Each structure stands twice: as structure tokens, then as C-alpha cells.
Amino acid sequence: MDVGFIGLGAMGSGMASELVKAGHKLKVWNRSRGPAEKLAREGAIVVERVQDAFQGEAVVTMLADDATIASVILGPGVLDGARGDLVHIVSATISVAFSRRLEEIHAQRGLAYVAAPVLGRPDVAAAGDLHILAAGDPAHIRRVAPLLEAMGKATWTIGSQPHQANLIKIATNFLLASAIEAMSESVALARRHDIDPHKLIEVITGTLFAAPAYKVYGPAILRGAFDEAGFKLALGLKDVRLALAASEEAGAPLPFAGILRDNFVDAIGHGEAEKDWAAVSKVALRRAGLES
Amino acid sequence: MDVGFIGLGAMGSGMASELVKAGHKLKVWNRSRGPAEKLAREGAIVVERVQDAFQGEAVVTMLADDATIASVILGPGVLDGARGDLVHIVSATISVAFSRRLEEIHAQRGLAYVAAPVLGRPDVAAAGDLHILAAGDPAHIRRVAPLLEAMGKATWTIGSQPHQANLIKIATNFLLASAIEAMSESVALARRHDIDPHKLIEVITGTLFAAPAYKVYGPAILRGAFDEAGFKLALGLKDVRLALAASEEAGAPLPFAGILRDNFVDAIGHGEAEKDWAAVSKVALRRAGLES
Amino acid sequence: MDVGFIGLGAMGSGMASELVKAGHKLKVWNRSRGPAEKLAREGAIVVERVQDAFQGEAVVTMLADDATIASVILGPGVLDGARGDLVHIVSATISVAFSRRLEEIHAQRGLAYVAAPVLGRPDVAAAGDLHILAAGDPAHIRRVAPLLEAMGKATWTIGSQPHQANLIKIATNFLLASAIEAMSESVALARRHDIDPHKLIEVITGTLFAAPAYKVYGPAILRGAFDEAGFKLALGLKDVRLALAASEEAGAPLPFAGILRDNFVDAIGHGEAEKDWAAVSKVALRRAGLES
Amino acid sequence: MDVGFIGLGAMGSGMASELVKAGHKLKVWNRSRGPAEKLAREGAIVVERVQDAFQGEAVVTMLADDATIASVILGPGVLDGARGDLVHIVSATISVAFSRRLEEIHAQRGLAYVAAPVLGRPDVAAAGDLHILAAGDPAHIRRVAPLLEAMGKATWTIGSQPHQANLIKIATNFLLASAIEAMSESVALARRHDIDPHKLIEVITGTLFAAPAYKVYGPAILRGAFDEAGFKLALGLKDVRLALAASEEAGAPLPFAGILRDNFVDAIGHGEAEKDWAAVSKVALRRAGLES
């Protein structure tokens, strides 16, 4: 297919690369030049203006947050000048409110909008092993199925309204942050009782919690090395905020998210913003008088 | 082996039954007569006095909590009159402090004490599929290995001090309660956004959370039927209290446990004490204005 | 003095009225006509355009929130067309970040900006008994001292940077919401123990908590009548959000604010948005199984 | 009157001293000798056995907690050997459950039991300025009115069941701890925004929070000197636990108490157990990256 791609960060680069490998004709745009040139060497075409990426059958947007997307995509000439039958796939983790707004904006212009946030970190994206949560008009999703298949190993169809996928993604990250926090508190508790926390993680990941969330982050918490950020802590706070915003919109309290917010704020105040978000575990350890 | 068994509640009955099936000579004691007679029909010998169960090679204690164990086991003539080379296996979920006290009490009498709390609900116990967390002198654990093998499908050796297994058990239940709470809040959030929560549970248990904790309790929360209590909510609060007590002893804050405590108190205040502990999910739904 | 006044809500009307009474020449602007006409009958001049209120020696802005102020004040021709030696007094409760932005915007235009948020509810404003928290260049504050004196019974000079007053105001409302919450939880606890909560409030307001915060809100919680909103619950949530935003900006966790946020969300989800913010007490009562 | 006095800690010594000064004939008992001898020099009679203090018209018990009272008062010969028309005044801060148990125990023996917990720190006790919260049979309270008047500057009659006074006392301490926590979070927030926190405390104690709770603890938090413990932090945690226990008994969630518990645990883990309980403010500061 003839596809545009906006946003070549750690996640976007891997996803775009998979599209090129799958034989799609990719027009990429990125604010900074470097990542685009890397894609060009793999076979992508670098375009100068955002709107040039909106002239194919589909375009994938993978930018950091609501504000960035708004500034890049909602400027004059972009959606207004898009090819009429294009499907706009937004894979970024955005707020439910902004996704609803994008639904309206696309509807007004008769453009197809599919939300397709992803589960997985950059290494997973680079391997084409993402789980993709797709929501939107089934016909639109069908049209871009080859792209979703190229970027992920599985597509989960969530519903016919794009923002539904965004909420599921936000909830999943909330569950993930909650699992990290619960493990962190448990590890601090075990250590203060002079119990080897490896034993704790071994038992839980060998029994009731034998799942990626615990198998990835349990050992990460034990290692205590967070410099290589699969997912930055500052973005973790952003996602907790998205959960809180969705909670306020809907009138659904989210007490665990209140705890998470505080601990991410604590971690950022202690210099961990650019570390992997599992560094939030240091808050539980520090509060228990255990320095890392 | 020649074994005593104290406490034939929902969990204990299944465990004792497995011991009989495995060919061990079982002397059972229970406060109420019914469950003991049921075991007798399977081949166990019912004894009248607690101390009669302490005359074999080992005895398993599976009572509700610290206070019950203290009243049954620490009375005159029980430990004092126990066979000298007996190994006392305590499988109940007890506090770290009480387990430490049992360590001292047994040491003073030269008795072997192994803590062996279990992971699994009554149906799992009845099937002999429990995970057993064993801690104590390795030689003692070795002596009772055939019993642990009969009662569970796997034995995890935690360490040489019994209370270590109790802490790991308490931490595991804390992680489990946290997973239930995080899912409950997410389900309430999804429902208030008019999103089918089955989709949420399907996605998470199919990806990052493909583990028993989520696969058992996710669907349970969605069903909303908690009358059949695999694990009673009142006992869930007891276990949260054990985590809080361990936190206070060790100087390790446990913010998620504070939220859990409140929600269990809320649930009990609304009449759910005897329901399955997943009924705590009703608190998140009620607070979000969703009745069940 | 020759003064403009923007925003004649419940608070603004009382403040503007005091300025007229004190003999100042007032040019008022309000989005809806009614409140302006009422002021006109007291002697104020109603102006058609916002910028007309910016032609005197000073102007007071008393609008609901950041977004409203931005839309009314930051449009073309308002600040740009303001009289050069005017002092702009912003009395609304705005975010620290927005106040900092207003500092920059005014500095760029060489305009004087004084933040002067107030403590007190509409009846206090109407009586001229507000406490005013003023921050900004001391010379600017001095120039508008007669206005501050007319609107309040006391002016507290906070510092030379306007946003400092906004933070103190936000912190004060956070303390107030915390006091309401702590009393609500205590009242629920007393009632569930069959103790007359009037006795509790009588004791605390007669001893350690003999202060307006407790003497106003304690009896209000006991009465349980929140239809007459001195300060709307939805605005209370707005102010909790301002505290949370200030917390995130500064890297200072605010665990009580997390609880407050949840309870305000809970209350709004149960239809209390337009009630007085003391209606948040109903959350503690409802959770304790006490209906009102 | 002929009065016994049990427990001459920092609080008890001041209260006993006031009774002597008022002309009552005091028989004092204390576990350690020193404080008793000091009272003897003021005119009290030191007795050797607890039961000797139970032979007058009344006896005041002022011991640290439930367990201490149980071990001192509930031993053989004490209540059983008490003078029949004696009124037992228990002024310690005890749990609601234990107070109910004391109600039963006294009723069984036909003894009069009045709960009279106090508000105030040791310096207040020494000055005879305590507020006394009295509950019990009105006739019993009347009989000991001269004693209550001697020990305090005001007696608040709470109700006819002693445990009611204990709950009000527990709630008051919970409110006090909540006020300390809310101020601590606010001070951390202000400091991280480079605002002088003295200004914050000055404003709040000069306006909405002009009450002892804030006027005593606000400046204490600012001073940051907690070595002289008016009320020890470890006892503060004990009182938070009493609130949590009352919450669990009654089915009334207490979310602020969960936060308080964690912060007291954090503080104790950081070596503050013997400091004044306002040292809990260091937790908010430390979490905000502000050392002291």
C-alpha cells in the first residue's frame, strides 16, 4: 500500500521499518532529520511537509502526546488537504477526550479515522511483535489490516469508536503501573524482613503471576538498573494522567492511580524522569529506608 | 507416614484428603464433628484431643488465624506433650510476628517447625494442585517432603526460617488483592465510558496479563456473582491486615494496602463479608455509580 | 480611582459592589447582561467591550478559571490596547503555571500585574470582609491598595512575584478541602459507632479546631443541606486539580490531594457537581453505609 | 477526696500534681520509682501495690495503651479487691473495643467506670489546662467532677457510655494528625515553588485556620526541631491504629488514615519514633526532595 508515517521516535521507527520490510511504499515525516534518513536507507521516502504524508491510502501517526499531535496534524492544510479516501491511523497513546475530538474532526472532513494504540516496548516494535488495539469503523479497519498485520503480531479489534481503543490502552498501562507498584512495595517489604526478594519474584512469576507484566518488570525491579529506558518514567506519569483524566470525565474514582501519580511525581523530583518507568520502584525502597 | 491434621475447613479438608489418598496414616482433629467424620469415611482416624494428633512423625495445622492457632495449639499439654521428633507443619496464613513467636516456642521445646502456607483455593486444594511455600530447617523440610508432595503439585523452598514463607505468602495475597483492585477500577472506568469490559479483560489476559491471577479474577469480576466464596472477603481483609502489620514491623510503607484496607472495610460495611473476596470489586463499581 | 471590573459572578458582583460603595468609578464588563445591569443601578458604568475596562488606572479580573481568562483577556486588542500605566489585578483562583505565563505576558507589554486571589465565600465578598492575598511588585500593590482595602477587610502581602499568591491560595483551598474530608470521615466513624456527631463537632470546634474552617464546615456537614452553594463542588475539584498540577510541576507529592480528587470525582458522579463542596462529605457517609 | 492514681508518665505526673495541689489525698502507683517519689515530695502517698490505689473514692488510670492497662489493672486482686463504691476513671487513649470490654468488666463487678481521655500535651497537663472528654453514667461523672475540674480547665460531657469519649478522643487525634499532614504537604509544595512557607502558615493561622491545632503545629513544622517530644511519633502511630481499628469495627472507611499510617511508618523507619509526632512532616519534605 501507499502509506505515510508521521513520528519516528523509538516506537515509530520500529513500526515504520516493519512496514517497509512488508513491501509497503512508505513516505515518512519526522521533526528531526536523523531518524528519517535512517528509514530512507531502508527504502522509505522522506517527505518535507506533513501534508505530503497524507496523500496515500493510509497514514500512521505515532507522536508523543495530544499536544504534539494537535500541533503537527491539526495545522492548516494537513487534514484539509488529505486524500479523500485515506485512512488515518493514530497509534499514539492519547487521551480519550482528544480521541473523541479527532473522531469529530475526521467526521467533519469525511476522513476515515482508526485508533490503533499498541502494547509493547521499542524492542517489541522493532521485532514486529506488537499487540495492536484497533477501534473504528470495521470497514476502515479492514482496509488497513495489511498495515496492522505488518506492524504487530496480533490485532485486537476493540469496537467501532476509535476512542474505545484509547481507553483500553490507558487502562492497560494503568494495570501495568499498578503491577509495578505492587511488586515494588512487596520487594521493599521482603527486603526489610531480610528475605531475598528474588525468591518472592521467582514464586509469583512461577505461579499466579506467570505473565509478561510480572516476568519483565519483576526482574527489572530486582536489577535496579533503569538507565536504558524502554519506556520513560516521564511518559509513565503522562499515562497515569490520562487515566486520571478519563476517570474525571467519567465520574469513576481511581484510587490506585492517585498513589501512582504521587510516586511518579516523587521519582521525577528525585531525578528519574528519563529513566525507565520501573525506576518508580525506587520510591518504595527509599521510603522503606533502602537505598536502591 | 504417621501424621496428625488439625483444622478441617474448606482448605484443610482437601489437603487432609490428599494425604489419606497418598496412603498416609492420618489422625484428624477438628473443632466441629462433621468434617472429621467425612474424613473418617475416607480412612482417617478421628481423635478427641488436639494432643492426640501430635504423637506421629508430623502434624499439619491448618487453622484460620493467629488467635485460633494460639488457642488450639498453645494450650497446656499440646506442644509440651508432643512426640519429640515430630515436625510441626503450619500451613495457615499467619502473621510474620506470630510465626517468629512459633519459631521461639518450638525451639525452646526442641520441636521441629516448618511453615508451609499454600497458594490456591479450596477446589485447587481438593485436587492436590496447591503450590506450597515451605520454610524452615532444610532437614525438617526433607523429612516431610512426602507430605508436601501429596498435598501440592509443587513445593517452593523459601528459606531456612519459617516466617520467611509466611511473609512471601502475605506478599502474594497482597499482590493478588492489588490485581483484583486494579482490574476493578479499570472495569468501572471502561463501563463508565460505555466500553464493554469483557473486551478489556480479554485483551489483558490475552497479552501482558496472561496469568492465573487475572484469568481467574478478571472473569469473576465481570460475572459479578460472589456467593460461592472460594476465599471469603473477611479473610481477605485479615490478609491485608497481615500485610499492614508486616509493614509496620519492618518500617516499609505499603500505600496500595491502605487503599485495599479501605475498600475491604467498605465492602464489609455493605454486607459482603461472607462473599468471595472478588466482591471487593463492587466498591469500585458503586463509587462509579454503577450498581453491580 | 478609575477602575475596570471583569467578571460579575457570585464573587465578582460582591467585590465590584464594594468598589462602587467606596466611591471608585467602576466600568464593568460581564459576559451575560443581568449582573452588569444590577451593578449599573448601584452606580457602575457598563461597557460593551472587554478592552473598554482596560482604560483606567486599574482593572480587576474575577473570572472562573485559566481557560476563561485566556479567552477573555488574551484576545487581540485587550492587553495590547490597555492604558500604559494600568495595574491589572487578577483575583481569580488560577494555576501557578498560568499565573507565571501572565507574568511574562504583562512584562512583555510593560503592564503591571498583581495577583490578588481572595479567601471567602460570596456572602463574605458582599460584606467586604474578604482576606486578599496580594503578590507582585510592591509599588504596583501600593498603587491599588485603596481598591484592595475596599474589597477586603485585610490584605496579606505574599511576595513580589504574582504566582506566589496563587500558590498560597491553592494551598489554602487544599487545606480547607482536607479539613472537610477529615471531618467527614470522622463524622461517618462517629455515626457508625452510634455517637452523636454533633458532640464531636462541638468538642473540636470548642478546643483545638476553634477556627472558621471547622466552625463553618463542621455544622454544614452535620446539616447535610448543600443546595445553596457558597462554593460549588465542581469548582472544588478544579482547585484540587490546581494543587495536583502545582505538585507535578514542583515534584512535590501530595497524597491527601489524591484522596480528595477521588472523592470529588465520586461526588460528581453521584450528581453533586452544582452543590456546595461540603457535599463531598456524602462520599464518606455513603461508603460507611450511611445515606446522608 | 481520697483518690488513687496509676501511671505517672509525662501526662500522668502533671495531672496527679494538679490533684494534690487541689487538696485531694492522693495514693500514687507507678512501675518505676522516680516519678512516684517526685509526687511524694509534693504530698502524695506512694503505694507499693496497684490494688492499694483502688481503696479510695476514685482512682485515675493514665497508662500508655490497651495492653499496659490490661496487664496492670486486669490482674488478680485489683478490680476484684477494689472498694465497692469507687469510681474508676480511665484517662488513657485506649481503643473503642477495649473501652467496651472495660465497660463489661466493671459492670460485672458493680464498679463505676468513667472514661475521661484528655486533650493536651504534657505542658498543658502540668498547667491544669487540659480539656477532658468524659463519658459514663452521669451520676458517676458527677461524683468525680471535683477531680476532673482539678485536672482540666474544661470538662466536656460526651455521653453515658464510656467508649463514646474514647472514640471522640481518637477522632480528635485523627483530625490533628490530618491537619499536620495537610500542612506538611502544603509546606513542601510551597518550598518547592520557592515560596517562603512562613508566609503560608502566617496566612492560614491568621484567617481560616486560626486555631491551636494549626498555631501549634504550623510553626513546629517550620522550625523542624522535633527532639523535644510533646507527643511521641510512635504514640501517634498507635493512635492512627486506634482510628483504623475503630474504622474496621464499624465498617467506616478512613482514607486519610491510610495515608497517615504510611507516613508514620515511613518516619519511624527513618528513625523518628521517639521524636515529636510533628516530625512526620519530614516525610513530605523528603519525598519532595527537601532534606528537613
What CATH code is carried by the domain that includes residue C207? 1.10.1040.10
- Give the residue from B110, B133, B160 where a domain finishes: B160
**pLDDT tens-digit series, residues B238-287:** 999 999 999 999 999 999 999 999 999 999 999 999 999 999 999 999 99
**pLDDT tens-digit series, residues A138-150:** 999 999 999 999 9
Q: What is the pLDDT of residue D27?
A: 98
Q: Rounded mean pLDDT of B1-22?
A: 96
- Whether the Cβ atoms of residue B178 and residue B260 lie closer than 8 Å to each other: yes
D54 and D145 part of one domain: yes
Q: Enter the ipTM.
A: 0.96
**Is C261 touching A (CB cutoff 8 A)?**
yes
Q: Taking all residues of chain A, what is their mean pLDDT, rounded to a whole number?
A: 96
Other chains touching B, judged by 3 or more CB pairs under 8 Å: A, C, D
Q: Are C185 and D256 inside 8 Å of each other by CB?
A: yes
- Report the amino acid identity of residue C29: W
Instruction: Confirm whether D107 is domain-assigned.
Output: yes
CATH code of the domain containing B10: 3.40.50.720
CB pairs under 8 A between B and C: 20
Question: Percent of chain A at pLDDT above 90?
Answer: 97
- Give the residue from A107, A126, A160 where a domain finishes: A160
Residue D22, φ and ψ in degrees, nearest 5: -80, 0
C40 and C153 part of one domain: yes
Other chains touching D, judged by 3 or more CB pairs under 8 Å: A, B, C
- How far is the alpha carbon of C204 from chain D, nearest alpha carbon, in Å? 7
A110 and A142 part of one domain: yes
Question: Percent of chain A at pLDDT above 70?
Answer: 100
- Give the residue from B138, B160, B182 where a domain finishes: B160
**Is A289 touching D (CB cutoff 8 A)?**
yes
**pLDDT tens-digit series, residues C90-118:** 999 999 999 999 999 999 999 999 999 99
**Is A159 touching B (CB cutoff 8 A)?**
yes
Q: What is the pLDDT of residue D292?
A: 57
The total domain count for chain A is: 2
Catalytic residues of D: 169
Q: What is the pLDDT of residue A185?
A: 98
**pLDDT tens-digit series, residues D124-150:** 999 999 999 999 999 999 999 999 999
**pLDDT tens-digit series, residues C36-84:** 999 999 999 999 999 999 999 999 999 999 999 999 999 899 999 999 9
Asked whether the CA dihedral B75, B78, B84, B85 is positive or negative, the reply is negative
pLDDT of residue A292 exceeding 70: no
Residue B93, φ and ψ in degrees, nearest 5: -85, 100
Q: What is the pLDDT of residue D115?
A: 98
- Whether the Cβ atoms of residue C181 and residue C236 lie closer than 8 Å to each other: no
Residue of C nearest to D263 (CA): C255
Q: Taking all residues of chain B, what is their mean pLDDT, rounded to a whole number?
A: 96
Q: What is the pLDDT of residue B291?
A: 75
Q: Are C211 and D211 inside 8 Å of each other by CB?
A: yes
Mutate to test the interface with D, among C95, C96, C167 (most CBs of D within 10 A): C167
pLDDT of residue A110 exceeding 80: yes
> Residue D187 CB: number of other CB atoms within 10 A?
26
**pLDDT tens-digit series, residues B74-122:** 989 999 999 999 999 999 999 999 999 999 999 999 999 999 999 999 9
B155 and B189 part of one domain: no
Which of the 8 DSSP states describes residue B263?
H
Query: Which residues, other chains included, contact B135 with Cβ-Cβ below 8 Å and sequence gap of 6+?
Result: B114, B115, B116, B141, B157, B158, B159, B160, B161, B162, B163, B164, B165, B166, B168
pLDDT of residue C292 exceeding 70: no
pLDDT of residue A291 exceeding 80: no
Q: What is the pLDDT of residue B292?
A: 57
A30 and A141 part of one domain: yes
- Whether the Cβ atoms of residue D156 and residue D145 lie closer than 8 Å to each other: no
> Residue C186 CB: number of other CB atoms within 10 A?
30
Residues D221, D183: Cα–Cα separation, whole Å: 8
Q: What is the pLDDT of residue C75?
A: 87
Question: Percent of chain B at pLDDT above 90?
Answer: 97
Which pTM value belongs to this model? 0.96
Residues of C in contact with D257 (CB under 8 A): 185
**Is A192 touching D (CB cutoff 8 A)?**
yes
Instruction: Confirm whether D61 is domain-assigned.
Output: yes
- Whether the Cβ atoms of residue C194 and residue C292 lie closer than 8 Å to each other: no
- How far is the alpha carbon of D224 from chain A, nearest alpha carbon, in Å? 19
pLDDT of residue D154 exceeding 90: yes
3-state SS, one letter per residue, for chain D? CEEEEECCCHHHHHHHHHHHHCCCEEEEECCCHHHHHHHHHHCCEECCCHHHHHCCCEEEECCCCHHHHHHHHCCCCCCCCCCCCCEEEECCCCCHHHHHHHHHHHHHHCCEEEECCEECCHHHHHCCCEEEEEECCHHHHHHCHHHHHHHEEEEEEEECCHHHHHHHHHHHHHHHHHHHHHHHHHHHHHHHCCCCHHHHHHHHHHCCCCCHHHHHHHHHHHHCCCCCCCCEHHHHHHHHHHHHHHHHHHCCCCHHHHHHHHHHHHHHHCCCCCCEHHHHHHHHHHHCCCCC
Q: What is the pLDDT of residue C291?
A: 75
- How far is the alpha carbon of C68 from chain B, nearest alpha carbon, in Å? 27
Spatial CA neighbour of B61 closest among B88, B84, B85: B88
Residues D34, D21: Cα–Cα separation, whole Å: 19
**Is B84 touching A (CB cutoff 8 A)?**
no
DSSP 3-state of A30: coil
Instruction: Confirm whether C292 is domain-assigned.
Output: no
- Whether the Cβ atoms of residue B86 and residue B143 lie closer than 8 Å to each other: no
CB-count burial class (<10 Å; 0-12, 13-18, 19+) for D24? buried
Among this protein's residues, is C169 annotated catalytic? yes
A96 and A132 part of one domain: yes
C19 and C116 part of one domain: yes
pLDDT of residue A52 exceeding 70: yes
C-alpha cell at B161: 526460617
Q: Which residue has the higher pLDDT, D75 or C174?
A: C174
B23 and B49 part of one domain: yes
- Whether the Cβ atoms of residue C205 and residue C215 lie closer than 8 Å to each other: yes
D31 and D150 part of one domain: yes
Tell me the β-bridge partners of A2: A25
**pLDDT tens-digit series, residues C4-38:** 999 999 999 999 999 999 999 999 999 999 999 99
Q: What is the pLDDT of residue D75?
A: 87
B243 and B105 part of one domain: no
**pLDDT tens-digit series, residues B113-145:** 999 999 999 999 999 999 999 999 999 999 999
- How far is the alpha carbon of A42 from chain D, nearest alpha carbon, in Å? 46
B68 and B124 part of one domain: yes
Residue of A nearest to B153 (CA): A207
Instruction: Confirm whether A116 is domain-assigned.
Output: yes
Residue B147: domain span: 2-160
